Structure 1
């Protein structure tokens, strides 16, 4: 297999891993914070966090362009700091994958933290443990199954992201062309053999990742 075949695979895996680590960090922070708290507006915040799961990818891509585009406040700051727009870059693909994968991680982590017996955490507080240590040494180990499952599902979702990535990161071979966009181009150009190879590769990786969630004990 030549570079043309392997480049989108390597790029997709690197983007999915990076996005997975980002949603893991964000999911742990927000999942822990939201798990046992009750306050006005919680329903609105949780609905907002889960919204990328149900929005059309084109809508997510459009919103990312509005938020991070050159004419936006955030986009202009990034361009001043880095000298170029974040759009149509590797990081744009990572951001798109992170946004669409986050709801799966958040929901899994929150459910995992909610399953932790509060009495165990209270006992650690009574012994003088800080909230950080309680989270690190008590809550996370007890919710580890849900956390690992969330990471695997998020990785798989990031690997298959297409619409938002195409709009926000583009389809630049060797730079932002991921497996889904490469498959689209291959089919559009009539190269069905290459398309099939990428499809089989995607199915194989996704199958292994999803199957591993059933092995978590």
Structure 2
């Protein structure tokens, strides 16, 4: 070890934080939009759409990784298009790790956002509309401020999940030190190489980060039992 933390471990930590931040940002944007849609709109197939969007929560990560390979791989519809139009190859890049982490963690933001929006009194939204506020203005000035704790709680859980993502990330991004090797993958490689000290340190770092995020998420999640 070089000091408290060896350089490869620092690199893995920085990469994990980078991947988790980008994945969480993507999940926040799409999760809030779709969570609001599912909470406020009634349309045929709404619950089926919810089930499909929640599927990554229960599906094995390796299966998700395979699906991502089919979609963003060189011969996949999205991967082939990006390669042909822009010369972009996502496989075995940190961007692929972001996509994998975002897909796996997305249901946490979606569920948190939908539940939070469903607790907002629609009469308050109607009153704001009567006052002449646009629908988007109502969302920004009424709905979101009332639901922000639940949304942020789900977002923090998604960040923690992104930090620990392994299976899907390994399949689409591989384990390239300094480029795609996140903390969870670095732990796996260290164990395989018999580097127990490195593995223990990486596990400790990952655990501390996730515990801090989970404690913050619990503090922000609305308490449904006022007497608890």
Is the structural similarity TM-score above 0.5?
yes
Aligned equivalent of 1:127, options 122, 131, 137? 131
Could you tell me which residue of structure 2 aligns to residue 71 of structure 1?
75
Extract structure 1 runs of 4+ deviating beyond 2 A: 214-217
Aligned equivalent of 1:33, options 13, 31, 37? 37
Q: Distance in 2 between matches of 1:89 and 1:71?
A: 16
Matches within 5 A, 1:108-127: 108-127=112-131
Could you tell me which residue of structure 2 aligns to residue 16 of structure 1?
20
Q: Distance in 2 between matches of 1:34 and 1:103?
A: 13
Aligned equivalent of 1:177, options 178, 181, 193? 181
SS of the residue corresponding to residue 215 of structure 1 reads helix
Question: Where in structure 2 are there 5+ consecutive unaligned residues?
Answer: 223-228
SS of the residue corresponding to residue 179 of structure 2 reads coil
Could you tell me which residue of structure 2 aligns to residue 163 of structure 1?
167
CA-based RMSD: 1.0
Could you tell me which residue of structure 1 aligns to residue 207 of structure 2?
203
Q: Distance in 2 between matches of 1:5 and 1:158?
A: 18
Could you tell me which residue of structure 2 aligns to residue 3 of structure 1?
7
Structure 1 position 79, deviation (Å): 1.1
Q: Does 1:88 align with 2:107?
A: no
Q: Distance in 1 between matches of 2:126 and 2:157?
A: 31
SS of the residue corresponding to residue 174 of structure 1 reads coil
Structure 1 position 82, deviation (Å): 3.4
Structure 1 position 96, deviation (Å): 0.2
In 1, are the aligned partners of 2:154 and 2:217 still within 8 Å (CA)? no
Structure 1 position 111, deviation (Å): 0.4
Aligned equivalent of 2:196, options 192, 196, 201? 192
Could you tell me which residue of structure 1 aligns to residue 103 of structure 2?
99
Question: Where in structure 1 are there 5+ consecutive unaligned residues?
Answer: none
Could you tell me which residue of structure 2 aligns to residue 43 of structure 1?
47
Q: Distance in 2 between matches of 1:6 and 1:68?
A: 29
Aligned equivalent of 1:59, options 39, 60, 63? 63
Please say which of residues 198-207 and 32-41 is displaced more in the overlay.
32-41
Could you tell me which residue of structure 1 aligns to residue 155 of structure 2?
151
SS of the residue corresponding to residue 214 of structure 1 reads helix
Structure 1 length as normaliser, TM-score?
A: 0.97
